[in-house]
Amino acid sequence: MKFNSLESVGMLMVRLGAMFKVEFHARLKPYDVTTEQWALLYCLWKEDGVAQSALAECCNKDLPTVHRILKKLLQKKLVKLRKSSKDGRVSFVFLTENGQALKAPLDELACSLEAQIAGSFSDEELACLKRITLERIEFGE
């Protein structure tokens, strides 16, 4: 059996994910936010003031990657850091007013893209796709 990327479920999922990311990136561009930055902001919109380690877990990224993304978000004044009063090695990440202000427009943008993608499936196909994908994600964890 030879590997065929056109029939590989993994490769097809990677391709689909990449297509989604390219489109999402294009839609985020006017807001000067990347898809990676959006992922961290999204986690902070759900729970503000979390440790960097919790943020890494929330967005499924390693700490060095989160640190790199946070540096950009700090430069853009979308987040701020506060050292823990109990442990100076721990920093908590908080949204600034600017970071909070992006929540509504970027949420609408994400919902719009999701609706566009979901609209290309029947209700049954979409339910099946979600169920199978979630099962595989849980299996891999």
Q: What is residue 4's predicted lDDT score, i.e. its pLDDT? A: 83
pLDDT tens across 99-109, in order? Answer: 999 999 999 99
Q: What is residue 10's predicted lDDT score, i.e. its pLDDT? A: 82
CA distance 75 to 89: 21
Bridge partners for 81 per DSSP: 93
Q: What is residue 111's predicted lDDT score, i.e. its pLDDT? A: 95
Tokens representing residue 109 in the block: 């943008």
In the predicted model, what is the mean pLDDT of the chain? 92
Tokens representing residue 90 in the block: 């721990």
> What residue ranges define each of the domains in the chain, with the CATH number in brackets?
9-140 (1.10.10.10)
Q: What is residue 141's predicted lDDT score, i.e. its pLDDT? A: 63
Residues in the chain with pLDDT < 50?
Answer: none
